[in-house]
Amino acid sequence: MEPVTLATDRLLLRTVGPQDTDTVYRICQDPDIQRWTTIPSPYLPEHARGFTEQIAPDGWTNGTMFTFGVFLPAGELTGMLGITLRSFATGEVGFWSAKEHRGNGYITEATVAACRWAFTRMSIDRVEWRAEVGNTASRAVAERAGFTIEGVLRSSLVNKGVLRDGWVGSLLPSDLGLPSTTPYVPARG
């Protein structure tokens, strides 16, 4: 599928390409991004090049991962967000934010916009968020975006070759006032 561009009141969400490689490389030197995400560490120029020139475009082409750079209207990259298809009608969101742009709500705003797009255009009925237990910044973004934290999955995430416990949460179309493509009957009691 062709990449799409989304707009919010303050942001432009678009795919990344070779023109963004140097900026992605610079931002990903942040020790917090390397610690809490699964990007390689150390993060080398070839990792940024592979991401912007192969991984991100290939995800759109084969319809498995929809990567958006989160940009200010003037063109400055504030973060990255992707929704990866995990199973039928289920996606998983992941994101990071440039250090100098944290605390402005940009990634929360982008997450809501991308999930709304996934629910209305991609027939996704559940978006999951996962993060290593202790990544309180990521959890705060997920909660502000409306995700329900569902619990801890023991030994569920691999980061830098180590199994770690992970938080998991979900966002459903109904959480954003949208219909599901498949009927949903919540459990009772």
* Per-block mean pLDDT, blocks of 10 residues, the chain (189 long): 96 98 98 96 98 98 97 97 95 98 98 98 96 98 98 96 97 96 87
pLDDT for the residue 49:
98
Number of neighbours of residue 184 by Cβ within 10 angstroms: 12
pLDDT score at 77: 98
DSSP 66-123: EEEEEE-TTS-EEEEEEEEEEETTEEEEEEEE-GGGTTSSHHHHHHHHHHHHHHHHS-
Q: How high is the pLDDT of residue 93?
A: 98
Provide the pLDDT for residue 111.
Answer: 98
Please indicate, yes or no, whether the overall pTM of this predicted structure exceeds 0.75: yes
